[in-house]
């Protein structure tokens, strides 16, 4: 999945965005050459560097769009970089709500949303510039369907709002309409591309059936943008090796174009 961002750029993503009227600057966030790369340390070092890049973009009024192989650094970096009270719309086939105590795989990225909401890795997260954990009641998870047993129980005990893909068009609209005191809080949109059903193209080796259609995903973006500003977004987990037909890359680019277009329209309506 680490090859995904460059593959999407080489597929002409920046040019397509420019054709839509957007000014695009591409910046790569990399580990320092002398960094001692271990999985956990690398993830949080990248998160910290990304937070700085997101903050710089937001300061000059640009829209930070993060392409990342993994969910954790993208989400932690965006939350830190925005440096404000936000809500999160988390599109993913997986909950990423495990902690070191509940995980069965030990996969760090399976703890991304738990880290963002302060359930784990809080010490390392505090070192990310600007990072403050996001209240669970400010998080909506959409399309999650592949959960560990303990992870599912954690969701049930949490304040995270979960929207099932089967009743998406009804339940998501209700969730947005019932936001209460956070209706005007700006949004960060996180898209793990395996939220899409594999019929749209196989995004990675973790993809599972019964996901959102591309039209569903675009509809959700429009619904969010019609109600509040989207301040940043991340698109993660595209693995070119899983995309033997090229359909997944086409769907990923289509999703990104729709996300940026709706975010830009939302920004214009706020000014």
| 3-class SS of residue 139 | strand
Per-residue pLDDT averaged across 116-128, rounded?
97
**Residue range 133-153: average pLDDT?**
96
Residue 32's pLDDT band, with cuts at 50, 70 and 90, is confident
pLDDT tens track for 68-90: 999 999 999 999 999 989 999 99
Banded model confidence at residue 271, pLDDT cuts 50, 70, 90: low
Task: Match 């059936």 to its residue by tokens.
Answer: 209
> Which residues neighbour 56 within 8 Å (Cβ) at sequence distance 6 or greater?
none
Please give the mean pLDDT across all residues of the chain: 95
Question: Tell me, what CATH number does 167's domain have?
Answer: 3.40.800.10
Greatest pairwise CA separation for the chain in angstroms:
51
pLDDT at 124: 96
**Which pLDDT belongs to residue 168?**
96
Among candidate residues 252, 163, 167, the one with its CA nearest the CA of residue 202: 252
Tell me, what's the pLDDT at 236?
Answer: 98
Q: Does 93 score more than 70 pLDDT? A: yes
Q: How many CA atoms lie within 13 A of 239 on its CB side?
A: 12
What is residue 120's predicted lDDT score, i.e. its pLDDT?
98
Distance, first Cα to last Cα, the chain: 37
Instruction: State mean pLDDT over 201-215.
Output: 97
- Rounded to the nearest 10 degrees, the angle between the axes of helix 39-59 and helix 71-82 is 40
Which domain range does residue 31 map to?
4-270
Per-residue model confidence (pLDDT) at position 270: 66
| Residue 267: predicted pLDDT | 77
> Looking at the predicted structure, is the pLDDT value of residue 217 above 70?
yes
CA separation for the pair 4, 241 (Å, rounded): 9
- Looking at the chain, the whole-number percentage of residues with pLDDT higher than 70 is 99
Q: Convert the pLDDT of each residue in 50-69 to its tens digit.
A: 999 999 999 999 999 999 99
Total structural domains within the chain:
1
Provide the pLDDT for residue 37: 77
Examine the pLDDT at 265 and tell me if it is beyond 90.
Answer: no
pLDDT at 38 over 90: no
DSSP string over 165-214: GGGHHHHHHHHHHT-GGGTTS-EEEEEEGGGB-GGG---STT--SS-B-H
Residue 145 predicted with pLDDT over 60: yes
pLDDT, residue 35, reads 86
Q: What is the mean pLDDT of residues 94-104?
A: 96
Q: Above pLDDT 90, what percent of the chain?
A: 90
């Amino acid at each position: 999945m680490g090859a995904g961002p460059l593959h999407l750029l080489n597929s002409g993503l920046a040019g397509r965005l420019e054709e839509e009227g957007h000014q695009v600057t591409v910046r790569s966030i990399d580990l320092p050459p002398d960094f001692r790369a271990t999985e956990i340390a690398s993830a949080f070092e990248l998160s910290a560097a990304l937070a700085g890049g997101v903050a710089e973009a937001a300061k000059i009024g640009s829209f930070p769009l993060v392409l990342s192989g993994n969910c954790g650094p993208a989400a932690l970096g965006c939350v830190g970089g925005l440096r404000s009270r936000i809500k999160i719309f988390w599109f993913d086939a997986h909950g990423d709500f495990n902690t070191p105590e509940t995980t069965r795989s030990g996969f760090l990225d399976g703890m991304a949303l738990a880290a963002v909401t302060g359930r784990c890795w809080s010490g390392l997260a505090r070192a990310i510039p600007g990072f403050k954990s996001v209240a669970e009641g400010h998080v909506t998870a959409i399309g999650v369907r592949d959960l560990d047993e303990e992870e599912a129980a954690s969701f049930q005990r949490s304040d995270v709002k979960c929207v099932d893909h089967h009743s998406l068009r009804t339940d998501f609209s209700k969730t947005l309409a019932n936001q209460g005191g956070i209706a005007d809080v700006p949004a960060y949109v996180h898209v793990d591309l395996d939220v899409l059903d594999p019929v749209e193209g196989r995004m990675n080796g973790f993809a599972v059936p019964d996901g959102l259609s591309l039209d569903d995903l675009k509809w959700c973006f429009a619904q969010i943008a019609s109600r509040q500003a989207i301040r940043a977004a991340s698109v993660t987990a595209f693995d070119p090796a899983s995309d033997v037909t090229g359909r997944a890359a086409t769907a990923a680019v289509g999703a990104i174009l729709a996300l940026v277009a709706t975010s830009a329209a939302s920004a214009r309506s706020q000014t």
